[in-house]
Chains A and B, each alone.
Chain A
């Protein structure tokens, strides 16, 4: 790794702090992930998975990738996990919802994710308290700050991180330069995902589900072939 130009005690102390932050976040990520895949309730698993993603975001920051850390929090822990939460809520609707809501108020449910998230919040507060607006450390620090120009607001990001942080500007230059074709392909992938999700969920929105005593797939839609229906019933009768 590139070492900062100033090798004062302050720099090495900050490096040690960042390394300690890395190991603490890694431990939190491992614990939260192990708890995610062993929960029996999907809502609890989603909570632990959110904590795990936040911990991995702090690992990204410790590795000198603040832009990836921000994306991890915004997109992964924000957008994608909100989708999971919505689906878990939809799947839980029904008669059993009220006792489930009552169960949410028991401390055994939320004290685990809260403790793990409190560790991450402590790390974040330490980062904010130690390195905020420290421009002098910046000037002697990463060479990327020189590249970012005189009035760059990106110097706020890499203050406490002693390893040379890869600035968002570098990522953007690379993303819309040599990787432009990959960006276009990713946009087409997102478009395909959008169309597919809309198409799959459209019939759910269109036809309100009647109070059915048996699953809906045994009743075939009228436009489809009735041969499939008869085949299905014969398969069931066997």
Chain B
């Protein structure tokens, strides 16, 4: 695969990460914010895979596997927190957690 295509893979990773950041900043729904974080983690994994393909080494896939475990742990804890917040406030809006401060 030519190096041009690998550069495009990195550009794809950057654009996906940017979409994740935009979603994280624009949405107030906690489920959408968690999904945006997933998009960003996935883009980071894509960057690692592209780098591994560029140098022909398997290290990029190792880092992708570690990112995968990180995403799994983060999603399990995050969704449990969202369920707790929903059972308390009947809302999944991020601003509903203001009650923690009062």
B1 vs chain A, min Cβ distance (A)? 4
Smallest distance from the beta carbon of B60 to chain A beta carbons, Å?
7
Decide if the interface of chain B is mainly helix, strand, loop or mixed.
Answer: helix
Partner of B66, one of A42, A46, A186: A186
Determine which of B8, B12, B62 lies in contact with A179 in the assembled complex, contact meaning CB atoms within 8 Å.
B62
Q: Give the interface segment out of A49-57, A99-107, A125-133.
A: A49-57
Closest to B75 in A: A80
B19 adjacent to A49 (CB under 8 Å)? no
Among A30, A88, A170, contact of B15 (Cβ-Cβ < 8 Å): A30
Complex contact B29–A42 (CB within 8 A): yes
In the bound complex, do residue A194 and residue B42 qualify as a contact, i.e. CB atoms below 8 Å apart?
no
Contact A209 B80 (CB under 8 A): no
Chain A residues in 8 Å Cβ range of B46 = 56, 59-60
Knowing A37-B22, A59-B12, the reply to whether A68 touches B72 (Cβ < 8 A) is no
Which of A18, A67, A216, A236 is B1 in contact with, Cβ under 8 Å?
A: A18
Given contacts A37-B19, A189-B69, contact A84 B75 (CB under 8 A): yes
Instruction: From B1, B16, B31, B72, give the contact of A42 (CB < 8 A).
Output: B31
Cβ of A232 < 8 Å from any Cβ of B? yes
Q: Cα distance A216–B89 when bound, in Å? A: 7
A15 nearest CB across to chain B (Å): 7
| Cβ-closest 3 pairs across A and B | A193-B73, A37-B23, A200-B80
> What residues make up the interface of B, taking CB atoms closer than 8 Å to A?
1-3, 5-6, 8-9, 12, 15-16, 19-20, 22-23, 26-27, 29, 31-32, 34-36, 38-39, 42, 45-46, 49-50, 52-54, 56-62, 64-66, 68-77, 79-84, 86-90, 92, 99, 102
